[in-house]
Amino acid sequence: MTARIPATIVTGFLGAGKTTLIRNLIAGAEGRRIALIVNEFGDMGFDGSLLSDCDDDDCKPDTVIELTNGCICCTVADDFLPTIEQLLAREPAPDHIVIETSGLALPQPLVRAFTWPTVRHRVTIDGVITVVDAEAVAAGRFAHDEEAVAAQRAADESLDHEDPIEELFEDQLSCADLIVFSKTDLVDAKQIEEVAEIVARDARKEARVVHANASGLPASVLLGVGAAAEDDAFERKSHHDLEGEEHDHDDFDTFIVDVAELPSIEALGSRVRAAMAEKGVLRIKGRASVAGKAAPAVVQAVGPRVDTYFAPGGNAGRLVVIGERGLDAAAISAHFKA
């Protein structure tokens, strides 16, 4: 078996210092091929400054994945799986995958996405890093600009829960393997102690705390944590789990179908409808190529509703199928054969 590729998830509120940490990490990567996945929120896009500073193709995110607060089975999986598969298909494969979350998405569903069979045997979560703005927390806030965090959340249509920001903060801590106090250059030792006390209330007992300033932290501290967080993914509870809103993803199956180029968008639509009619299929999503068209056709099928339309974007020719456990992958895939 080939070694699994380590992945690091970086979480923390808007302005906590995630980008600073990652930029420094990539700059000091010493030849490690680091693939970066950044999730966008609302229409605000990802942090362009991080990319413009980086000339190396390997530190540019190949894809932007959207994470939401919703259930992994219905949301994270259909964007996350193709993104990871695309990364894994690269030659040479990345040495390390870094995922910067928008900070408003719960880390727990993302961690659980790594337990999916297709991902689990190829990738391991090296660590969940939660960046805590020490200056803000010492001043009694969760984020430097709590109003901006609230505005960010209001702009993100994918966030369907109105949890108090405090709960998100706690959920970020209770999922972390490594907690980075950023901006420790702006606080004194006593304030750091106060922050440590607040953080300790929600942190897992295994989590380590490290202190950072504007120069970030070396790769030797941030990478190689070796947490294998997927192994205890379901022990890392969020408020939602504790409120009993989770459903176990063992009830669901997902797989990716390769789709040959189709003669027309109508032909694509009828094939998707036929596949949706197979037993247990809940959702089909992705992009397919249509003869004579430069842009791929986007497929969004949920229950009886099948949408197909042209829109620019990559990863054409692959659809993600999500459904109840026991899907007949062969029968479903047959609808998309040439």
Ligand X SMILES: Nc1nc2c(ncn2[C@@H]2O[C@H](COP(=O)(O)OP(=O)(O)OP(=O)(O)O)[C@@H](O)[C@H]2O)c(=O)[nH]1
* Among 303, 268, 271, 302, residue whose Cα is nearest residue 288: 268
Window 71 to 90, contacts with ligand X (CB under 6 A): none
CB of 103 to ligand X, least distance (A): 5
194 or 261: CB nearest ligand X? 194
Site residues for ligand X, 211-240, by CB under 6 A, read 212-214
DSSP H helical ranges for the chain: 18-27, 48-52, 76-88, 107-113, 117-120, 134-138, 146-155, 165-174, 189-200, 219-222, 239-242, 265-276, 329-334
Q: Cβ of residue 176: shortest distance to ligand X, in angstroms?
A: 15
Cβ contact 21:217 at 8 Å: yes
**C-alpha to C-alpha distance for 129 and 277, rounded to whole angstroms:** 42
Consecutive H or E run containing 128: strand 123-133
Instruction: Assess 308 for contact with ligand X (CB under 6 A).
Output: no
Answer for the pair 229, 150: CB distance below 8 angstroms, yes or no. Answer: no
Please choose, out of 12-20, 72-80, 110-118, 195-203, the segment that lies near ligand X by the rule CB under 6 A.
12-20
20: contact with ligand X by CB under 6 A: yes
**Binding status of residue 182 toward ligand X by CB under 6 A:** yes
Q: Which of 6, 9, 17, 298 binds ligand X (CB under 6 A)?
A: 17
Q: Is 18 in the site for ligand X (CB under 6 A)?
A: yes
| Size of the residue set binding ligand X (CB under 6 A) | 17
Span from 7-15, 75-83, 114-122, 262-270 in contact with ligand X (CB under 6 A): 7-15
Whole-angstrom CA distances from 296 to 78, 264, 269 are 17, 11, 13
Angle, helix 165-174 to helix 146-155, in steps of 10 degrees: 90
Q: How far is the CB of 54 from ligand X (least distance, A)?
A: 14
Residue 39 found at the interface with ligand X (CB under 6 A): no
Residues 6+ apart with CB under 8 A from 137: 194, 195, 198, 199
- Looking at 61, 94, 103, 296, which residue binds ligand X (CB under 6 A)? 103
Q: How far is the CB of 113 from ligand X (least distance, A)?
A: 21
Binding ligand X by CB under 6 A: which of 4, 27, 42, 47? 47
Regarding 186 and contact with ligand X (CB under 6 A), the answer is yes
Binding residues for ligand X, rule: CB under 6 A, are 12, 14-20, 47, 103, 182-183, 185-186, 212-214
